[in-house]
Amino acid sequence: MDDVETYSSRSKKRRSRFLKFGLAAVIFVVILAIILGVVLSTTARNPSGEKLKSTVITRCEKFVESTNISRDCQKLWNLFEQAYVGRDPCAVPPEAYNPLMAGMHPDPSCNRMLFWSKTKDLVHDFTEKRDCYQTLEDTLLGSVMDGLTWCGKEGTRETFTTDCPGWTDCDNNPVRLFWNRASAGFADAACGDVTAMLNGSIATPFSPASIFASIEVKQFNSTRMNGLNVVLVTNKNDITTCENPSLKVLQKELDPKLKYSCKEVTQSNIQECMLRPDPACGACW
């Protein structure tokens, strides 16, 4: 009888230990499933945010490597993201990017800074082939963010790249504000002789609606700049010249202390010139 009771007691203990172990295993599996479910759900819901982060950091690291500048790319992402996450994509405050600009501001390239309006493709082709000038898009922030779309939404800490407001949908959208703020900073740092490449194939090369007219020119500082050289890019049969009324407006908007010049240069001449080797890094106009 004692043996039977002892065996029964041991069996109960083994069953109890087995049940406890089984219950613990079930709880572990449930918790693991919940965690994986949340992660997979988030990734499936918004893979674009992680892709944007990867793109920004990768571009930043390549820029840092190629230019030998000292910048923390993870810090760049953190400063960038905090400007818009959790905000209404049409109500981002103008000062939201100030920490990013302060922490990642470009080093001025006196006598090499090149501004543009309606000539983006030609300008960037030129600076890529002839490393004589620097546009905003050739700086760290400009090169990293060029061509990207992003926004946040209220009630979430996620980043989105779709269903974001377009450039003209609202003034305070995160992409437009970024480029306005970056353009103002780039123009404010302009020093020495500054160049602007404008489109001579349109009726108003200096358009009031452009970033160059509405933001950059207003930031030019005569204490740092010597003057502005306008390169008016023309094509065959264009009738726009340096005497265009909008360019007269540009000249009047500049500080009188700044020297002003304008030269008409054909697009074909610039394209031919950019392919010629020039150790002295001379201009193509």
DSSP 52-75: HHHHHHHHHHHHHHHHT----HHH
Helix, strand, coil distribution of the chain in percent, nearest 5:
50, 10, 40
pLDDT along the chain (285 residues), means of 10: 50 53 52 48 62 97 92 95 97 95 83 97 92 93 97 95 94 96 95 97 97 98 97 93 98 97 96 79 77
Cα separation, 138 vs 200, in Å, equals 23
Write down the architecture of domain 48-274 according to CATH.
Up-down Bundle (1.20)
- Cβ neighbour number for residue 66 with a 10 Å cutoff: 9
pLDDT at 97: 97
> Which pLDDT score is estimated for 70?
87
| Model pLDDT, residue 280 | 63
3-class DSSP assignment, residue 259? strand
Q: Is 166 helix (H, G, I), strand (E, B) or coil?
A: coil
Instruction: Provide the CA 186 distance to its chain's centre, in angstroms.
Output: 13
pTM over 0.85: no
Active-site residues: which are they?
Answer: 110, 191
